[in-house]
Amino acid sequence: MNKEVIQQLFPKKALITVAGTVGIGKTTFATHIANILGYHTSLEKVDDNPYLGKFYSDFKRWAFHLQIYFLAERFKAHKNIMDTPYGVVQDRSIYEDTGIFAQMHYEKGNMTKVDFNTYTELFNAMVLTPYFQPPDILIYLEGSLEKILEKIRTRGREIEKQTPIEYWKEMQERYNYWIKTFNHCPVIRINIDQYDLHHHPESIEPILKDIAQTMRQKDT
């Protein structure tokens, strides 16, 4: 793959956001295409999260705290991206927090109505305003539940491996519903079976061309 040829298809500054359920391979995908495009990455902070481990052991006690933490971190990351002069590939969008995770925890009783309303009002005030610039494109990664569970086991995070399969199944279903109504920016849906970054890195080239074409259509 000729990186220079691919890079010429993309603007110098743009925000490409990669979305998809836990374990789908967002970080690997985002890092790989950022390297090809000469973009920077904005990756989700997991290891420094003070609530994540507590959350997996007690959903009801920590769901609201976790969602507020993620909202603040993603908003700060988005603002930093908008202030930079270069292109960025982002791991997970801020829209997923309210559209999937907060909604799920509220419906399952892990967040009270008061907490959910407070969270939603914060999200709306921060994100659903003319001052918040959405991504130039959102890449939605999807795949079978079996493949997702395999990836979760492979990366070996104990708190995820101990989480019931029903949780991951429900999350995948919620993601599939969410993406059907997402309309904040152009979307490209990619099945993880379409590429193999480890054994066939060239398989990403047609996907990058599709992304570039969709971004150009957005600007016309």
Task: Specify the pLDDT at position 42.
Answer: 93
Of all residues in the chain, the percent with pLDDT exceeding 90 is 63
Domains and CATH numbers, the chain: 14-44+78-103+133-219 (3.40.50.300)
Q: What is the pLDDT of residues 137-196, one digit of tens each?
A: 999 999 998 888 888 887 767 777 677 888 888 989 999 999 999 999 999 999 998 998
Alpha-carbon Rg for the chain in angstroms: 17
Tokens matching residue 139: 């890449």
Report whether pLDDT(219) > 70. no
Question: Which of 91, 97, 115, 136 is the catalytic position?
Answer: 91
- What number of other Cβ atoms are within 10 A of residue 85's Cβ? 6
Q: Would residue 219 show up in a list of annotated catalytic residues for this protein?
A: no
Task: Specify the pLDDT at position 64.
Answer: 95
Residue 210: what residue type? D
| pTM across the whole model | 0.89
CA distance linking residue 121 with residue 32, whole number of Å: 35
Task: Specify the pLDDT at position 215.
Answer: 93
Q: Mean pLDDT throughout 38-62?
A: 86
Q: Which of 1-15, 92-106, 155-169 has the lowest mean pLDDT?
A: 155-169
Packing angle between helix 59-82 and helix 113-127, nearest 10 degrees? 0
**Mean pLDDT of the residues in the chain:** 90
CA distance linking residue 43 with residue 155, whole number of Å: 16
CA atoms within 13 A on the CB side of 193: 5
